[in-house]
Amino acid sequence: MRHRETKTSQSKCSGVFVSFFILERVIFMKSVPDYFGSKVFDNRVMKARLSPDVYNSLKQTIKQGKKLDSGLADSVASAMKDWAVENGATHFTHWFQPLTGITAEKHDSFIAPAPDGRVIMDFSGKELIKGEPDASSFPSGGLRATFEARGYTAWDPTSFAFIKGKTLCIPTAFCSYGGEALDKKTPLLRSMEALNKQALRILRLFGNDSVKRVVPSVGPEQEYFLVDREMYEKRKDLIYTGRTLFGAKPPKGQEMDDHYFGAIKPRVAAYMEELNEELWKLGILAKTEHNEVAPAQHELAPIYTTSNLATDQNQLTMEIMQKVAARHGLVCLLHEKPFAGVNGSGKHNNWSLSTDTGVNLLSPGDTPYENAQFLLLLCAVIQAVDDYQGLLRASIATAGNDHRLGANEAPPAVVSMFLGQELTGVLEAIETDKPYFGIEKRKIKLGVDILPRFVRDTTDRNRTSPFAFTGNKFEFRMLGSSNSIACANIMLNAAVAESLKMYADILEDSPDFKTELHELIKTVIRSHKRIIFNGNGYDESWIDEATNKRGLLNLRTTPDAMAELLKKKNMDMLTSQGVFSEAELRSRYEIMLDNYCKTVCIEAQTMSDMVRKQILPAVESYAADTAAAASAKKLLDEDISCCYERKLVRKLSSLVDCIDERTDSLDAVTAKLKTISDITKQAMFIRDELLPKMSQLRAAADEAEIMTAETYWPFPGYGDLLFGVK
């Protein structure tokens, strides 16, 4: 009876919860422009609520990176608080991105005591500019001792404040008492400033004095899986690790290619509709949605914005995706490889350079051969990717992404660039001092008069390339779906800034600019063309060519890649550009390897737990019942051979022994891992000893799943998970 009352109570609460969101969605069933950005303290709100002087000063800070006038903080804080309270907010938080990979927030209410015993809603400029969260409980990689608790958050005026629930969220940087960056925003802002400084030097050489700021623009495509929540809750591996540690391949996977761009199922369509509404209210430019290659896999892509804002919005997008999924009885999986044997999920980081005057500096124009400024910037990216390929690989290295890189849906671990036929032809012509005649622009003819003809692009797409030029931007395809895009963009911005600095140093002192420019471009092409590859990145022959003939790095795992952070050449570049201090770099090395080790260790312990408490009892139970059935048959008729039952029981018994033995072996290796104190040695031990043991145990358990009756298996299999959402 008690259980029934509880269930009814939960049902009522759930009904109220759902009704609230239905009501909220009815309220927002206006045209998108009417409610877009309604939860953001953006330019429209600031212009309406701030005085012209305050607004113009703040705009100069946002648009041109000028120093913030701290005297304006009280005016901004007051307007921000009034707007937030009018929109239902009762609290505020400094919203920041510590080195955990997710966001953090501590909520404080707006209330302040009034003399008559009541309260007033108050928010000061001091509270806006600075917060003081405890810094001792966040990863610091040795920058802070446990007893050194003080840390600071500092308002980032270049990223708009927004309302989430009943809380005003203020994007902030996060640093220690000593000023060391303990977050991902601070180095990203530093890298943007470094890139801006060097890009302006280049533009001035070409006579462009009107541009005041150059910013990297980013559009991160986000892939994800949706699974039914009831099924998810029956799988400890999904709950604890975000991926399936066991799972036999179902009769059908993605072989038919029928899910990619297919008709979106009603339940998923309803999820996408609400997700778009929630993101649009937060000013996030969600643009594209579709089914991805694997069953249950989907993608969302936004319109480009500055890399700082894009990073904040992508973190927020991942959070909202998971919250909206829960309201639809779904779970959004953001792990890079939640299912073995089917495509994993990436995050394609589309990167370009834009000016404050609205010009895309990576747009070749109609005649890229004659566009010297574009060619020099293109060379800067080519050299940056070649010189700092190790840093780019390290920037996307995680335990989850190690399962994805090199598989059929992701680029290999070797970093290379795709430029396409036309740009490659242009560069070859420059290198050899030969004329370039261009590629004929042909019209596509489909053989049906009623269908329109259109001009074919001069460059194809290459979906196997880690770093591909796609018309007016580069698509860095190696990021994992759960990654913060900050890390990749920090390294990319800094590396390109270093190339541009080198070029500006040469050209600014040149007595003959045009001749020096031509020779510089030619030299860069000759020195760095090894990084350009327009072929099939999945071909094994390419990996051999890349590593053995071209000398490119093949950093297959996170432990291999992390060492790049501490290489002298890489540290010198990042410190000279002011992006990291040496101490900050060493701390990140420690933090990222520690995260890798803990992630895999949790997975190993989860495997052991699932085997001993679920898989072995299930297989044993099925084997015992099968043996009992055989005995019953023999009692009925002594002439019955029971060949099937005897063979099955022998096979199941053999598998039980194998699984038990391999679990013992895994436990022993896990125990040994805990005796290793050095983080580098831990990571190498995991790579060489623990992961192979996990693979061996999985193989035996997956074979047992195939042979065990479905009614006995203790949790939903791949077929249920991948095809369970209708």
* Residue of 329 and 442 predicted with greater confidence: 329
Q: How confident is the model at residue 598 (pLDDT cuts 50, 70, 90)?
A: very high
Among residues of the chain, what percentage have pLDDT more than 70?
89
For residues 586-611, give the mean pLDDT: 97
Whole-number Å distance between alpha carbons of 525 and 425: 12
Check residue 8 and give its pLDDT. 39
- Max avg pLDDT among 110-119, 293-302, 463-472: 293-302
Check residue 49 and give its pLDDT. 95
DSSP state of 1: -
Which range has the worst mean pLDDT, 77-86, 365-374, 389-398, 621-630?
365-374
Residue 401 near residue 101 (C-beta atoms within 8 A): no
Please list the helix, strand and coil fractions of the chain in percent, rounded to the nearest 5, in that order.
Answer: 50, 15, 35
Q: How confident is the model at residue 147 (pLDDT cuts 50, 70, 90)?
A: low
What angle (nearest 5°) sits at the alpha carbon of residue 98, between those of residues 95 and 104? Answer: 35
pLDDT per residue over 648-697, tens digit each? Answer: 999 999 999 999 999 999 999 999 999 999 999 999 999 999 999 999 99
Q: How confident is the model at residue 1 (pLDDT cuts 50, 70, 90)?
A: very low
For residues 58-81, give the mean pLDDT: 83
Q: Tell me: pLDDT of 634 over 70.
A: no
Whole-number Å distance between alpha carbons of 236 and 39: 36
Average model confidence (pLDDT) for the chain? 90
pLDDT per residue over 104-126, tens digit each? Answer: 999 999 999 888 888 889 999 99
* Residue 148: Cβ within 10 Å count: 14
Among residues of the chain, what percentage have pLDDT more than 90?
75
Residue 253 near residue 341 (C-beta atoms within 8 A): yes
What angle (nearest 5°) sits at the alpha carbon of residue 438, between those of residues 437 and 442? Answer: 130
Q: Tell me: pLDDT of 487 over 60.
A: yes
For residues 50-62, give the mean pLDDT: 88
Check residue 254 and give its pLDDT. 87
Check residue 23 and give its pLDDT. 52
For residues 366-381, give the mean pLDDT: 86
Whole-number Å distance between alpha carbons of 435 and 342: 47
For residues 200-226, give the mean pLDDT: 96
Check residue 345 and give its pLDDT. 96
Check residue 24 and give its pLDDT. 54
Check residue 540 and give its pLDDT. 86
Name the amino acid, one letter, at 190: R
For residues 29-50, give the mean pLDDT: 92
DSSP string, 641-681: --HHHHHHHHHHHHHHHHHHHHHHHHHHHHHHHTT---HHH
Q: Tell me: pLDDT of 541 over 60.
A: yes
Which range has the worst mean pLDDT, 7-21, 166-180, 475-489, 550-564?
7-21
pLDDT per residue over 601-611, tens digit each? Answer: 999 999 999 99
Q: Tell me: pLDDT of 11 over 50.
A: no
Contacts with 635 (C-beta within 8 Å, 6 or more apart), sequence order? none
Check residue 10 and give its pLDDT. 39
Check residue 257 and give its pLDDT. 83
For residues 471-489, give the mean pLDDT: 95
Q: How confident is the model at residue 274 (pLDDT cuts 50, 70, 90)?
A: very high
Check residue 15 and give its pLDDT. 45
Check residue 477 and give its pLDDT. 94
